[in-house]
A and B are shown apart, each in its own frame.
Chain A
Amino acid sequence: MNKIKFIIIIIFLCSVSLIILSSSINQSHQLNNKFLDTVNKQKAFTQEISKNIFYIYRNKEISASQLNNLIKKFIKNINTNKQLENDLKSDNIKEQNKKIILLWNDFYLKVQKFRNLNKISTAYSNIILEKIVKDIYNLNLKLIVEFDKLIEIRQKEFQESIKTKKTIQYLLYILILLLLIYLFTQLKTTISFIQKFLNTSKNIITNSTIKELKPIELHSTSNDVLQATNNFNFLVQEINNSIENSSKSMQHSYDSIELIEKNIEQLLELFYEMQEDEKFDKEMTKKEDILIQSLEELTKSSKKLQDLKTDLDNLIS
């Protein structure tokens, strides 16, 4: 029984560890997804900004408000990214982010220049504007490549970070499964004993009899189950013995009462013969009354014993 208790405690502890580990893996996934989402948004913003620049370059009368809005969003996203970068605590990501920020500063400078020159329309300014647009295009391509690199670095690091946790998680799963199989093999004999015990109890209840109760036959290696089986068999043996003994005792008592009755009857007859020709003797009469009462009590006891035997027979038949 102690072994079973120990196994149950280990299963419980493993289950708790598994829950904590799963929760930790889940948190890592959430953080990773958030980071990737921010990076992808930034990538999208630079593309949008480039697209907007081309559009404004082709259509001068278009307002630059959307462009300004996209720039604002990008800058805001840089702050979020920095916060996530601190949470991730990775040097490679920090390094890559620095590269991206440098590229972004260059990109942003070109965008600012474009905004300023776009308002002036001279032959010279048009040549410079064309060069700036080309630079923006090239810088955007570089930014996309660097963003992709960042995503790649993050994915690689993430996979490595959860690799150990996942291995531990699988190990815990296997350990719990093995422990459950072992527990089942240990409980099998106990369940078998309980089933046999329940069957015997059910038989007693449904048949309303305790006659010829059969002992439980069980081959078990568990000391506790063996002890319980022996205790039950001992109880069954005791019940069988007590029924047999009480039946014998009752028969013996019944025979004894009959014998005493015969003796008292003989004594009474002797009394009658003694009193036949004599005068009324008070003392003798008292003794005769006592004998009559004794015979009455004996006959009643004999009848009660018979009733008791009937009750017992009903109980065991």
Chain B
Amino acid sequence: MYRFKIGLFLSLQSIIKSQDFFSTLTDTQIELLSSISTIQTYNKNYILYYEQKYSTELLFLADGLAKAYKIDKHNNEIFLYYIYKNSLISEISTINEKGIYSFSNIELIEKSQILKIDYKKFNEMFLEKHILCKSFTNEIIKHSLELQSLINREFIFDSVSKVAKMIQSDLKMFNSLKRHDISLILHIQPATLSRVLNRLKRNKIIDIIQGKVVILDSVALAEIYKG
């Protein structure tokens, strides 16, 4: 039992070490962080938390894939962004409080490993001593970039640009998802997605082989959303 606990502890430390966010920490600091952290594995489609909920834990996606979304008053899902492994999940709105209020719902779309850290103690042990502040700022910048991309997608891009941008930036993801899910993510109708793919294929910018998209003209594809 004791050996099992040590094994778990070591595994937790190695997971923390593997995260870019904690790459600047010393071994002592990692050990300290391990004492206020837990690691948990959840299955696909598990809702990690709902919007407007208060949490006392800071969450990191150690492994897997998650998505942030909101629900409108007609119960439509509004996709916001993906959260990839090695990223901060929690949305930081303030560093003065002892907990965090969630802005959106977080659902795991793959079996995932979540690193949970006691936010109050983390604040006292690290942030208040100006440790990890740079990593913290980087994560906030990442969130800001996600929001910029969201603004582009929802207010600036037309349907063709949205599809082009997604194919260009994350082709692997595009091919792994069903067409219906892609239309949900891009917030366009499935028929529109089909028309856009047809238009890109006819213009010989992409090709569709056995349902998978292949980029033929990367420059022309980028030109579509860059204008």
Query: A residues bordering B, Cβ < 8 Å?
Result: 268, 272, 275, 280, 285, 288-289, 292-293, 295-296, 299-300, 307, 310
Contacts and interface: CB of A to CB of B under 8 A. Distances in A.
Contacts of A268: 195
A288 B159 CA distance: 12
Contacts, number: 36
A126 B188 CA distance: 142
Contacts of B192: 292, 295-296, 299
Interface of B: 74, 158-160, 188-189, 191-192, 195-196, 198-199, 202-204
Given A293-B158, A300-B189, A285 B74 contact: no
B191 A289 contact: no
A289 B199 contact: yes
A285 B195 CA distance: 12
Contacts of B199: 285, 288-289, 292
A91 B160 CA distance: 118
Nearest to A295: B192
Contacts of B74: 307, 310
Q: Among the interface residues B188, B196, B199, which one has the most CB atoms of the partner chain A within 10 A?
A: B199
Given A293-B158, A293-B159, A310-B74, A272 B196 contact: no
A171 B203 CA distance: 105
Contacts of B196: 292
Given A272-B198, A292-B192, A296-B159, 8 more contacts: A268-B195, A285-B199, A285-B203, A288-B199, A289-B199, A293-B158, A295-B192, A299-B191
A81 B202 CA distance: 129
Q: Among the interface residues A268, A272, A285, A300, which one has the most CB atoms of the partner chain B within 10 A?
A: A285
B202 A272 contact: yes
A241 B67 CA distance: 46
A44 B178 CA distance: 121
A296 B188 contact: yes
B74 to A, nearest CB: 5
Nearest to A306: B74
30 contacts: A268-B195, A272-B198, A272-B202, A275-B202, A280-B203, A285-B199, A288-B199, A289-B160, A289-B199, A292-B158, A292-B159, A292-B160, A292-B192, A292-B195, A292-B196, A292-B199, A293-B158, A293-B159, A293-B160, A295-B191, A295-B192, A295-B195, A296-B159, A296-B188, A296-B189, A299-B189, A299-B191, A299-B192, A307-B74, A310-B74
